[in-house]
Structure 1
Amino acid sequence: MNVSIACIVYQNGKILVARRNPTGDMGDRWEFPGGKQEAGETDETAIIREMNEEFGVTANAGEKIASSEFEHRGKMSVLNAYLVQFDHNGIEKPYVLTEHTEYKWVLPEEIPNLNFVDSDLKIYPAVLEYLKRK
């Protein structure tokens, strides 16, 4: 079964979301950053690689907060969501977007109003519940 990772980057009461490239799979839809785990990777190493590739940042994997199965192109996959922190070393820098056209910080309650990918919407209730306890 394929494993995908959703990175829940939460700071100052908001979650980082990104819009997919319009020409790609599920183009122009919003998502939690992340991606597919590659052969031999753990969830944690996939998080570090994906955040470096997609945003040009060093990331630290935190607690696993949700998991859900979904079907994509006739194949079953699992999506694991982790709380993730970016390591800025005290210096904020612009993100380098390679797989998205834009990003923004949104209140957790705003996510249902965005054109979000279906797999991420499946984990959204568990993510919201987790963040309410924080």
Structure 2
Amino acid sequence: MLNVVAAMLKNNNDNILIAKRQQGKSMGGFWEFPGGKIEQGETPEEALIRELKEEMNIDIAIDNYFGENIHRYDTITIKLIAFQGSIVKGNIKLSVHDECRWVSIEELKNFNFAPADKYFVEKLMEE
């Protein structure tokens, strides 16, 4: 099983940051909550901070654990661990996504999310 982290980052307007995976990559064209793989020796929180710095050039603060979802794809099973937080420094500069947007929780239903992320879309909309 592959352990992966995701961030539900909110801005001052309570909008959430979502990002579209690059075409040609795994799950290309799907929207997701930004994050990435946990490397050996990292805590989930450390991995999330590192991944957002590498992929978006931002420093984040993690506020709290949000949940986890185990999803089986055809060739791999992932455990997606999610945290809520905010950007504390930096301007977003994409390196592995085609675009990103700040959207309201209500607007999340208008985007085609990667299957593992759909669980968190539903959870956010229930709160």
- The TM-score, its normalising length taken from structure 1, stands at 0.86
Q: Does 1:113 align with 2:110?
A: yes
Aligned residues of 2:58 and 2:91 also touching (Cα < 8 A): no
Cα distance in structure 2, aligned partners of 1:19 and 1:80: 19
Equivalents in 1 of 2:16, 2:36: separation in Å? Answer: 17
5 Å matches for 1:1-134?
A: 1-11=1-11, 12-88=13-89, 93-129=90-126, 132=127
Q: CA deviation at 1:101?
A: 1.1
4+ long deviations beyond 3 Å:
none
Q: Is 1:66–1:127's contact at 8 Å kept on the other side of the alignment?
A: no
> In structure 1, how many angstroms separate the alpha carbons of the residues matched to 2:124 and 2:9?
11
Counterparts of 1:26 and 1:76 in 2: how far apart (Å)? Answer: 14
1:55 partner letter: M
Q: Which runs of 5+ in 1 are unaligned?
A: none
Deviation string, structure 1 residues 8-42 (Cα, Å, up to 9, x no partner):
00121211001111110111111110111111110
Distance 1:36 1:116 in 2: 18
In structure 2, runs of 5+ residues without a counterpart are: none
CA displacement at 1:128 relative to structure 2: 3.0
Number of residue-to-residue matches in the alignment = 126
Shift of 1:56: 0.4
Letter in 2 for 1:81: A
Give the letter aligned to residue 10 of structure 2: Y
**Deviation readout 1:50-94 (Å, 9 max, x if unpaired):** 100111011122211121110134332211110022112xxxx53
Q: Alignment partner of 2:10: what SS? A: strand
- Asked whether the 8 Å contact 1:65–1:127 carries over to 2, the reply is no
Distance 1:61 1:128 in 2: 20
Aligned-residue CA RMSD (Å)? 1.4
